[in-house]
Chain A
Amino acid sequence: MQHSSDIYGVMGEFGTPEELLHAVEKIREAGYARFDAFAPFPVEGLSEALGLKRNLVPAITLLGGLTGGVGGFFLQYWAAAITYPLNIGGRPLNSWPAFIPVTFELTVLGASLAAVFGMLALNKLPQPNHPVFNVARFTHASSDRFFVCIESKDPNFNLEKCSRLLQEVHAHHVTEVALDYF
């Protein structure tokens, strides 16, 4: 058996979202903090079971939207009133109602770009490889199986105890997750 620091963690497989939720709750009760669940679709209640708080995506999106909107308006103001003023029959240069459509579009554009790239950055994606992919059965995580992985970085991590805990919550396969890639 490997030393616990040489492995990424220990993984258990489940057949249904209910089993997964039950396992996650039990593992959390047992006092583990560094573990993650894997599911082929967003399982309702899983975030709460893991104790995940509100995330930063909405704040980043708001920031992106504000940047797009304010920047978009001042871009037009700068172009139409300062750097390239056109006097058309004495009409006001800062004709702000005419700038609203572009301001709106750039708000949406800024917010959407921030939402997508913010989400990817917070998830640390793209990350083409990860230790969990070393488990052969993990390919099912994207179709019909549910997984829990307790990481060896957890202060309470003990390979035997974690394996036993996973078996107690009826994991179908309990496997060690190798740390090295390939």
Chain B
Amino acid sequence: MSSGQPPFDSPEIRRLTPVIGPGHTYGSVTDKISAIVLTRPTSLGWFIGFTIAFSLMGMMTIAIAWLVIKGTGIWGINIPIGWGFAIVNFVWWIGIGHAGTLISAILFLLNQKWRTSINRFAEAMTLFAVACAGIFPLIHTGRPWMAFYMFPYPSTMGLWPQFRSPLIWDVFAVSTYGTVSLMFWFVGLIPDLATLRDRSVQKSLKIIYGMFAMGWRGSARHWHRYQSAYLLLAGLATPLVLSVHTVVSFDFAIAIVPGWHTTIFPPYFVAGAIYSGFAMVLTIAIPLRKVYALEDFITMRHLDNMAKVMLATGLIVAYGYFFEFFMASYSGNKFDVFLVQQRLHGPYAPFYFALIVCNILTPQLLWFYKMRHNVAVLFIMSIVVNIGMWLERFVIVVISLTRDFVPSAWGRYSPTFWDWATFIGTMGMFVTLIFLFVRVLPAISIAEMRELVAETSEDEK
């Protein structure tokens, strides 16, 4: 580092781009965040947005109902492409969820203060993304009411799940992930629910928030155990988040299909998951801070840091793409070589090139300070990366399945109206849940913001 510049993360740099706007007190952060839920009137824009999202969710319900009536034949899947949109969308959604856990757990363990104002809604995003993801494998079974067969229980038929199958690992990984994310989110919410209980004027709200707050009174003895539990949860969620996408990648990597059977899959899937997750956090954070005037809490420092994480994970993903090519050529396995050529020249080549543009080329703009500090650019970039990551899963699933070992087993895949209706419908469900969340719960952790106020006031002394 040149001698003229202040060292990284020095007080000067921190003052330039703080993690919290100046002049905030315990009371002011509490007022500002709780007011969004308690006193701010529900705007017309909220109703319009909610209506659109809820309608899309209704479309999903119809699509699923029709699927239950007719069977999976209404989708574009057929042998050899038995997976199609259901698995593409499943992997996409579950990947998006990962940033929430990364922000709340890993950045907590690393004591990164900038995590504080974004962890709550990132965790909520995780939960909602996992909910959307969970729908797909469930309905992909064709008979979702039989899904309990996948859980080990002493049945009268004497049947047990096949624990050597990655698909069963997936059931355990995703359901554990959903449960732990929910608990992590809820434990973080308890003090804030108490704040809402104490600040709400209406009796009904007091009772509802009070029930969920479980009588939290901020006792020092409670905080003592609470902090232990929270730290332990963070420590447990960290390997969990890495394991979940590893197990998802095993769904592919354990199979012998060309293009899937590679050891690079687990790390490259995890990096891709974090990449798409941070993109989704940006997609949500940028409108959220604008609409609710939270620029003091979600500062440019947050957006800048998230952009940097996106750039870093994006480069890991690029490394993964490169090594898929390298390993295929270096192995000399003719099926692997053929598959790689199919990505470049086959019928789905446009998707592959679109993927390279979205995931590798465009994010290189994030090297520039000006780009990372341009909110509009970041917002567009985040959507581009989300599209790119969806294309990645499409390329992995569809190209490998349509170009198997023998030409007689080759095929083509195109999604039907019902595939799209279900996919877009889950986006509606995701946005619906986000809208409800920002309306009824504090989108930023109030208790942690107060802690941040205390820490920053100590720094200034």
- What residues make up the interface of A, taking CB atoms closer than 8 Å to B? 17, 24, 36-44, 46-47, 50, 52, 55-58, 61, 65, 75-76, 79-80, 83-84, 86, 95, 98-99, 101-102, 104-106, 108-109, 111-113, 115-116, 118-120, 122-123, 125-130, 132-133, 138-144
CB of B300 to closest CB in A, whole Å: 25
Say whether A144 contacts B26, CB under 8 Å: yes
Say whether A118 contacts B221, CB under 8 Å: no
Contacts of B227 in A (CB 8 A): 42
Q: Counting CB contacts under 8 A, is B408 at the interface?
A: no
Interface CB pairs A-B, < 8 A, 5: A38-B218, A40-B26, A79-B160, A125-B215, A128-B214
Q: Counting CB contacts under 8 A, is B364 at the interface?
A: no
Greatest chain B CB density within 10 A among A46, A102, A105, A126 is at A105
CA–CA, A129 and B214, complex, Å: 9
Given A99, A101, A119, which contacts B226 in the complex, CB threshold below 8 Å? A119
- Name A141's closest neighbour in chain B (CB-CB): B218
Say whether A116 contacts B183, CB under 8 Å: yes
CA–CA, A106 and B158, complex, Å: 22
Contacts of B186 in A (CB 8 A): 116
Say whether A41 contacts B447, CB under 8 Å: yes
CA–CA, A133 and B194, complex, Å: 12
CB of A70 to closest CB in B, whole Å: 15
Say whether A116 contacts B199, CB under 8 Å: no
- What residues make up the interface of B, taking CB atoms closer than 8 Å to A? 25-27, 30-31, 34, 152, 158-164, 166, 168-169, 172-173, 176, 179-180, 183-184, 186-187, 191, 194-195, 197-199, 210-211, 214-229, 232-233, 236-237, 239-240, 243, 247, 250, 447-448, 450-451, 454
CA–CA, A101 and B187, complex, Å: 26
Known contacts being A46-B220, A112-B180, A143-B26, is A126 close to B228, with CB within 8 Å?
A: no
Say whether B163 contacts A109, CB under 8 Å: no
- Name B195's closest neighbour in chain A (CB-CB): A142
CB of B193 to closest CB in A, whole Å: 9
CB of A21 to closest CB in B, whole Å: 10
Contacts of A37 in B (CB 8 A): 219-220
Say whether B217 contacts A143, CB under 8 Å: no
CB of B152 to closest CB in A, whole Å: 6
CA–CA, A134 and B394, complex, Å: 59
CA–CA, A17 and B405, complex, Å: 69
Chain A interface, DSSP helix/strand/loop, else mixed:
helix
Contacts of A39 in B (CB 8 A): 218, 220, 223
CB of B459 to closest CB in A, whole Å: 13
Known contacts being A37-B219, A125-B216, is A102 close to B26, with CB within 8 Å?
A: no
Say whether A123 contacts B221, CB under 8 Å: yes
CA–CA, A119 and B197, complex, Å: 21
CB of A173 to closest CB in B, whole Å: 16
Say whether A143 contacts B225, CB under 8 Å: no
Say whether B224 contacts A52, CB under 8 Å: yes
Contacts of A36 in B (CB 8 A): 219-221
- Name A116's closest neighbour in chain B (CB-CB): B183
Given B161, B164, B228, which contacts A58 in the complex, CB threshold below 8 Å? B228
Say whether A106 contacts B172, CB under 8 Å: yes
CA–CA, A58 and B152, complex, Å: 29
CB of A171 to closest CB in B, whole Å: 16
Contacts of A141 in B (CB 8 A): 198, 217-218
Say whether A116 contacts B220, CB under 8 Å: no
Query: 6 shortest A-B CB distances, which residue pairs?
Result: A126-B214, A119-B229, A79-B160, A144-B27, A144-B26, A139-B198
CB of A75 to closest CB in B, whole Å: 6
CA–CA, A39 and B27, complex, Å: 13
Contacts of A65 in B (CB 8 A): 236
CA–CA, A36 and B218, complex, Å: 10
Say whether A55 contacts B225, CB under 8 Å: yes
Say whether A40 contacts B447, CB under 8 Å: yes
Say whether A111 contacts B163, CB under 8 Å: no
- Name A123's closest neighbour in chain B (CB-CB): B222
Contacts of A86 in B (CB 8 A): 162
Say whether A143 contacts B27, CB under 8 Å: yes
Say whether A108 contacts B210, CB under 8 Å: no
Contacts of A57 in B (CB 8 A): 225, 228-229, 232
Say whether A133 contacts B152, CB under 8 Å: no
- Name B228's closest neighbour in chain A (CB-CB): A57
Known contacts being A75-B152, A109-B180, A127-B214, is A52 close to B221, with CB within 8 Å?
A: yes
- Name A118's closest neighbour in chain B (CB-CB): B229
CB of B155 to closest CB in A, whole Å: 10
